[in-house]
Structure 1
């Protein structure tokens, strides 16, 4: 995707060249024009078409939305250029007691349980951020070291979100990481 390795997709044998099958995979595509390149690993496959569902949905899981940290509210922190970040920027320097990123525009269609996946980099030791959803009590979220800055990893947690706009606050705990984005998806 856009020059970066993403996922490996496996295709099951369909029987003959006139039999078709469908596989799907979930990837992040930023707004704008994107390049999707398939590189053959082994064997051969014919493509009939590539279907990209409308922005913010997947075929089986319902709405999935990505929220960029740098487009949200942050305090006692700053935007840092990172070439490997989804949009080339993260919110960094979240290393003071008052530092936080607040994703205050998390909009969902229904009240329910959602998986929140945090994409971050952490070139120091293990880190903990304090997470609060809609102003509820803070809970620690471990952000283990990624080994270097600009090397990204994700951690996920499940939470209940209310229909409409929600707020997910990540506040400095111990050590610090840089926050790239969160992905919000409903739990089946």
Structure 2
């Protein structure tokens, strides 16, 4: 699929046990993510290692002196994402209340990060951008991960929206 014209292959990254150690690497390749020469960039998509190995352990993360989150450790390694209708079974069963958000992981969580940065690039440029040029600009808006340069796991690196600010056209 990623070998098709104007299709961008995105690999997903995420931490493992961030709830226990906030200094952990946030950019570990997610185990569900495909790799290969077609990988162009990576983006946060969450990690599923803890969910599959240690489902019920609780982690406490202090957000401030007044607020501490006590959640299953698996929640800290995934992405809080928009999902579902208010009456969907998943959030009702999982969170016991109607919500349009859920803790999820996947390349479907990573791809919107890249789409958002692409939108920022188009907005900054002020006019449409040809797909090949947009891909080149996206590569400039990454932080290199893994071996130096483009690699089969992270492509050109993890997408970084902050780099759009200094992007030159």
* TM-score of the two chains, using structure 2 as the length reference: 0.25
The structure in which a higher percent of residues are helix is 2
The structure in which a higher percent of residues are strand is 1
* TM-score of the two chains, using structure 1 as the length reference: 0.23
Structure showing greater Rg: 1
